[in-house]
A and B are shown apart, each in its own frame.
Chain A
Amino acid sequence: MARPIPAWLAPTSLEEALELRARYGEEAIVVAGGTFVGILINQGLLQPAALLALRRVRELAYLRVEDANAAGRPLLRIGAMTTHRALERSPLVQRGWPVLASTFALVASPRVRNQATVGGVLADADYASDPPALLHALGASVVARSPQGQRLIPVEELIVGHYETSLRPDELLTEIQVPGGLEGAVYRKFRSRSSEDRPCVAVAAVRREGRLRIAVGAVAERPQYFPEICALAAGQPTIEPELAREIGERYAAAIDPLSDARGSAHYRRRVIAVEVRRALEDLNRIIAARGGSQSHA
C-alpha cells in the first residue's frame, strides 16, 4: 500500500511561516528541532499531510535581554528556535538566569539538546519534559503570533493537558519571555532510572519579591502549582524546617500523581513531599549565599 508522502514546507521568513500556518492549520505539523516529531513518525504515531519546518526562519533564533522595566525587572527574550544547547551555553543566560542554563543542561543528552528547541519543548507540552515546570515557576510567558497579530500567554495557561496547548491552529509560538528579578531559584530533577532519563518528579521553586512559587513537573498532565500553599511562606526570608516539611506534605496531598514506568502514583506522592521540602532547603541556602540559583541532578 502506498504511503502518503507529506508536503515539506520550509519558509525562510516569519511572515511566510505565519501565512503557511494559517493556510494549513492542523493539517501541517510544525517542526522546530524535530526530535519529538521524529520519534512519533518512527513509532508510526504520526502521518502528517504536511510538515512545516521553521529551521530556515533565522529570525526566530536569538537570545536578548531587555533592561529593567517599570517593575524593575529585566526580561530575557528567547527566540522559539533557540536550541537547548544555545541556551545552556549562553553567557547572557548563565549570568542572569543561571537556573535556566543549568536546567536545560539536564535535558536528555547533548545530541538531543543540539536539536531540540525552547519553543518546541513548550509547544509539545509533554508532561515528562524538564523545562515546562521551571518556566512555569519562573513566571515565563510565550508570544503566540498569527497573521492577525500576537498575544502573550503565561506558560501556566499555555499547557492545558497531555500534549495539549492553548495555541490556536493559526498561531505559532515565536518567543519565550522570562522575567528576572529573582531572589533565588532551584530546579530539582529526581530520576528513578538512568541519568539521561526524564524526571520521575521535578520540582522548580522560585522566590521573587518575597513571593514563593513552586511548580512540580512530570507527575501529572501539566505542571502543578498551588498558590495558596505557596502563600504560607509569604514574607518569610527563610523558610523554617517545619514549614518546608508542611509545604512538601501539602503539595503531595494536593497532587493526584500519574503512574508510569518511572514510578507509581503512590511512590510519586512520597517523593513529591520529600523533593519539595528539599527544594525549599536548597532555596534557603541559595538565598543565604546571596540570591544565586542552581539545579540539582
Chain B
Amino acid sequence: MAAMEIHFTLNGQPVTVQAEPDEMLLEVLRRELGLRSVRETCGLGICGACTALLNGQPISTCILLAPLAEGCEITTVEGLGGRHPVQRAFEEVQAFQCGYCTPGMILTIKALLEEQPEPDEETIRRALGGNLCRCGCYLKIIQAAQRAAALLAEERQRQPQPGPASIS
C-alpha cells in the first residue's frame, strides 16, 4: 500500500494531504502543512502540547491516526487569527513563560468557553487537567481563562448574539 490522500478542512480552508495510514495527524500537520503550533512531547495523549480542535472539540493529534481526520474540521491556533479573545487574555495576563504549551491551552479554553461561557474555577481546572505546563504557569493560565470569559462576554454584549454559540 502506498500513501493515501486525506481531505479535511484546516482553519476554514479545504486541504488535501498525503499520509500513510498509520501516521498520526500531528506529523501530517507539521510536515505537510507546516504548522508548528502542534507539538509532540509525550506521544501518549497526556500532555496536551499537540492539541487541535476536531469539529470544535479538543483532541490529541499525537494519537489520532491521520485518516480519521477525513472529512473533519480541524482548527489549530493559527486559525484563531492572533486577536481572538482567548489569545488577547493570554497576552494581557502574560500567562506563559516559554510558550510551548500555550497553543494547547488556548484551544482547550476556547472549546470550554464555547460550551460554558461562565465556568467557575473548578470547571476551568478540570478542563485544563490534561494540559501540562512545565514552566508552572498554571495560576496565570487560570486567570487568563477567566479574563477570556470576561472578554467574550463583553463581545457578546456589544453584538447581540445570533443564537447559541455553535459547537463546530
Q: Do A and B come together as binding partners?
A: yes
A residues contacting B by CB (< 8 A) are 5-8, 10, 31, 34-35, 37-39, 41-43, 48, 51, 53, 55, 85, 108-112, 114-115, 195-196
Would you call B22 an interface residue if the criterion is a C-beta within 8 Å of the partner chain's C-beta atoms? yes
Contacts of B59 in A (CB 8 A): 111, 114-115
Would you call B3 an interface residue if the criterion is a C-beta within 8 Å of the partner chain's C-beta atoms? yes
Q: Report the Cα distance A38→B43, complex, angstroms.
A: 9
A109 engages B129 (CB within 8 Å): yes
Contacts of B24 in A (CB 8 A): 38, 41-42
| Residue in A6, A37, A42, A195 whose Cβ sees the most chain B Cβ within 10 Å | A42
Interface residue total, chain B, C-beta cutoff 8 A: 32
> Contacts A5-B1, A5-B21, A108-B130 given: A34-B63 contact, CB under 8 Å?
yes
Interface residues of B in 105-132 (CB under 8 A from A): 108, 111, 127, 129-131
In the assembled complex, 10 residue pairs joining A and B whose CB atoms fall closer than 8 Å, in A order, are A5-B21, A31-B65, A38-B63, A43-B43, A51-B67, A109-B45, A109-B46, A110-B111, A111-B45, A111-B48
Nearest first, the 6 closest Cβ-Cβ pairs linking A and B are A109-B130, A38-B63, A8-B21, A42-B43, A114-B57, A111-B58
Would you call B150 an interface residue if the criterion is a C-beta within 8 Å of the partner chain's C-beta atoms? no
B58 engages A55 (CB within 8 Å): no
Least CB distance from A16 to B in Å reads: 16
Q: Report the Cα distance A10→B69, complex, angstroms.
A: 12
Least CB distance from B77 to A in Å reads: 15
B108 engages A110 (CB within 8 Å): yes
Least CB distance from A91 to B in Å reads: 15
B43 engages A39 (CB within 8 Å): yes
B130 engages A112 (CB within 8 Å): yes
> Contacts A6-B1, A51-B22, A112-B45 given: A42-B65 contact, CB under 8 Å?
no
B62-83 vs A: 1/0 string, CB under 8 Å?
1111011010000000000000
B67 engages A53 (CB within 8 Å): yes
Q: Report the Cα distance A114→B56, complex, angstroms.
A: 10
B22 engages A39 (CB within 8 Å): no
Least CB distance from B129 to A in Å reads: 5
Contacts of A48 in B (CB 8 A): 22
Q: Report the Cα distance A114→B68, complex, angstroms.
A: 13
Contacts of B3 in A (CB 8 A): 5
Q: Report the Cα distance A10→B45, complex, angstroms.
A: 23
B58 engages A42 (CB within 8 Å): no
B127 engages A5 (CB within 8 Å): no
| Residue in B3, B21, B108 whose Cβ sees the most chain A Cβ within 10 Å | B21
A53 engages B60 (CB within 8 Å): no
Would you call B98 an interface residue if the criterion is a C-beta within 8 Å of the partner chain's C-beta atoms? no
> Contacts A48-B22, A109-B48 given: A115-B64 contact, CB under 8 Å?
yes
B63 engages A196 (CB within 8 Å): no
Would you call B51 an interface residue if the criterion is a C-beta within 8 Å of the partner chain's C-beta atoms? yes
Q: Report the Cα distance A109→B129, complex, angstroms.
A: 7
